[in-house]
Amino acid sequence: MPLKLEHTEERLTRRAGLILIDRFGKQLNLAAKIDRAFPAPGSNRGRRASDYVLTLAEMLIDGAMHLEDVRAFEDDDAYKAMTERPDYPSSDAIGDWLRRSGGADGERHLWSVLRTLIDHIARGTGHTLDIDGTIIEADKGDATWTYKDVRGYHPLLGACVELGLFVGSRFQQGSASPQAELVGFVHECIDNLPGRITTVRSDSAGYNHHLINDCITHHRRFSITADHDSAVMETLSRIGEKAWKQGLSEDGSRTDYDLAETIHVMIHAHEAFRLIIKRTERTSQNDLFEGKYNYWIIATNIPAQEMDANAIIHFHNKRGEMERLIGELKHHYNLDHLPCGQFHANALYFTIGILAFTLVQTLKRHYFGNDWARRSVRSLRYHWLQLPARLVSHARYTVARIAMGYDLFQQLLTIYTQLSLAPAPA
């Protein structure tokens, strides 16, 4: 049967489920928190900071890539009626605000808001802080060359993988050193999750006496990938062949690597610490200088009675979860594309992306159950956020008729009712 296309003036939307994000923000009184954190507009007619921040957060959660995508929200009369929002700022206004409010101050203002959101999901103590950087390729006027030989930016991120949350960020130029002011960044992350972090886990960027001494001084445990410097390799060379043991996986099965352990003293470090060495046999032809084995070395002060060498390897391997979080942040929220030509504007835009990520993570944990804790925002969009609906107005109320399965609709209705009527999660 032939298909005909016709235009309609009915109030239709494809993002009916995004009302959950809007209601969650209102439940948390998020707009007021943002407005308190940022300077007030210069006139009574100026837009508040929350107008810009929440617009961008909604856009990123919806999957937008460009500032101009705000037109899709402005043209969506049905969704504007659902959120009781008269209009959205233009893309030019958003860009101007990002340039005016960006930079280190903008990051700091927004992290004061993010800290309150993290409090809604953080429970217990004994958490681990993972530190890692990521490269965002960007051919912008002020971007610099990265160690990967591309122009762009090099944000530094701290995350608590047990909670599935970022607890700190520092937007940096592409040429920034991974070790620069790392101790200060660790303190910022810990201050955002006070009293809950007991362990710092890092790649080799954290292998320096400044961070190790700071952990020792503050009685924090560390697990850091060690450099293959001359002192470490000399310590490794003194390990006898009989000290090497078969590596075991977490289920107790044999692996393709051997393990050994020794004690190492770093120059300028306050205390000695353990080195856990994993070696695998080279598959290529042996090199005179490289030797027969590949080595992967972990520096840690976690006591042996608490974690043996095998357990340290498994614990350190959980850094892979940090890489998963960064991958979702960059690629599922489209932060691998930064829209502005100025560093300061992009710094604030990137931090707003972390706010969007935190909103979704917090919403999932409180209202969607454990089954959704590790599922990405792409799944959330597909199943819950990007839902077609038609708005019908009556004398006293408006009805959103949503097209979805009845059982799923009942779940959606339950969550919406909780968000609309219940107090914010404690």
Task: Decide if 3 is inside a domain.
Answer: no
Average pLDDT of every residue of the chain: 92
Residues above pLDDT 90, as percent of the chain: 80
The alpha carbon dihedral of 74, 93, 67, 16 has a sign of negative
pLDDT of 113 above 70? yes
Q: How many domains does the chain have?
A: 1
Lowest mean pLDDT among 33-37, 39-43, 54-58, 105-109: 39-43
pLDDT of 181 above 80? yes
Per-residue pLDDT, 285: 59
Per-residue pLDDT, 232: 94
> What is the C-alpha to C-alpha distance for residues 220 and 217, in angstroms, rounded to an integer?
8
Provide long-range contacts, Cβ within 8 A and 24+ apart, for 307-313.
309/245, 309/259, 309/260, 309/261, 309/276, 310/247, 310/248, 310/259, 312/223, 312/274, 312/276, 313/247, 313/259, 313/276, 313/278
Task: Decide if 153 is inside a domain.
Answer: no
Task: Decide if 206 is inside a domain.
Answer: no
**Mean pLDDT in residue range 41-67:** 93
Phi, psi of 140 (to 5 degrees): -100, 160
Question: Per residue in 59-98, pLDDT tens?
Answer: 999 999 999 999 999 999 999 999 999 999 999 999 999 9
Task: Decide if 343 is inside a domain.
Answer: yes
Per-residue pLDDT, 7: 87
Measuring CA to CA, which residue among 128, 123, 136 is closest to residue 176? 136
Task: Decide if 63 is inside a domain.
Answer: yes
Residue 141 pLDDT level (bands cut at 50, 70, 90):
confident
Task: Decide if 412 is inside a domain.
Answer: yes
Per-residue pLDDT, 185: 96
Task: Decide if 389 is inside a domain.
Answer: yes
Per-residue pLDDT, 346: 95
Phi, psi of 71 (to 5 degrees): -60, -30
Per-residue pLDDT, 286: 55
> What is the C-alpha to C-alpha distance for residues 269 and 282, in angstroms, rounded to an integer?
32
Task: Decide if 230 is inside a domain.
Answer: no
Structural domain harbouring 88: 24-103+339-421
The set of residues, in sequence order, having a beta carbon less than 8 Å from that of 143 and lying 6+ positions away, is 151, 152, 153, 173, 174, 343
pLDDT of 31 above 70? yes
Question: Per residue in 11-28, pLDDT tens?
Answer: 999 999 999 999 999 999
CB 255 within 8 A of CB 314: no
Question: Per residue in 261-288, pLDDT tens?
Answer: 999 999 999 999 999 999 998 876 555 5
